[in-house]
Amino acid sequence: MTLMNSAGVTRRALLGAFAATTVAAAPTFSKAAGFLRGGGDIRRIRMYSGRTGEHLDMIYWIDGKYIKDSVKEVNYFMRDWRTDGVKKIDLRTIDIMAASHNLLDVNEPYMMLSGYRSPQTNAMLRRRSRGVAKNSLHMQGQAADLRLASRSVKQMARAAASCHAGGVGRYSRSNFVHMDCGVIRTWGG
């Protein structure tokens, strides 16, 4: 839902304008958590889904506070597209994704291959591939599989691992990186 004031300005446009001035005026690292190097005073997430054709480009955190409506949109965007099931995505996962994107210094949005997975979807994928974990963090809303056309799997994995905040899996043959907010670990090649 888009709200407009009497001047015809949307809330999203105001947030965007505010964010643009904040980025120019504020030191980049002033209030970011240690693992969010590059997070700054605002946090933005940019993704698209080839499965649904949807795009997401939004600021979801400003000056130490998550924007509730933005987080809801992220949850919906990262839904299980097979079942249309929505789950709250762990904010730490979103933060890791955003911080990694900032470290990669790209304007290109992530292509999201997988966000939340229902238990049914996870079981189906497990039957098709041995690379799908039985107790996948995708089912908890704590993981995402992402790709960037302009960066290699190695570059993306290195950026995510440098956040020291969760698991990072390299899937070079399938050209994607798994990022999660679970135990700090790396795997794949």
pLDDT score recorded for residue 21: 35
In this prediction, residue 44 carries a pLDDT of 95
Tell me the per-residue pLDDT of 114-127, one tens digit each, with 9 for 90 and over. 999 999 999 998 88
Task: Show me where the domains of the chain are located.
Answer: 11-188
- For the segment 142-153, the average pLDDT, to the nearest whole number, is 97
Among 8-17, 34-43, 90-99, name the one with the lowest average pLDDT. 8-17
Q: Reduced to 3 states, what is the DSSP secondary structure of residue 8?
A: coil
- Which tokens is 114 given? 């997988």
Closest C-alpha among 17, 25, 180 to residue 90: 180
Q: Indicate whether this model's pTM tops 0.85.
A: no
Whether the CB-CB separation of 79 and 85 falls below 8 Å is answered with yes
Give the contacts of 126 (CB within 8 A, at least 6 positions apart): 132, 133, 134
Architecture of domain 11-188: 2-Layer Sandwich (3.30)
Instruction: Tell me, rounded to whole angstroms, the distance of Cα 85 from its chain centroid.
Output: 18
The CA-to-CA distance between both ends of the chain, in Å, stands at 42
Task: State the pLDDT at residue 189.
Answer: 82
Residue 132 pLDDT > 60: yes
Q: What is the pLDDT of residues 59-97, one digit of tens each?
A: 999 989 999 999 999 999 999 999 999 999 999 999 999
Q: Residue 36: what pLDDT?
A: 52
| Proportion of the chain above pLDDT 70, given as a percent | 79
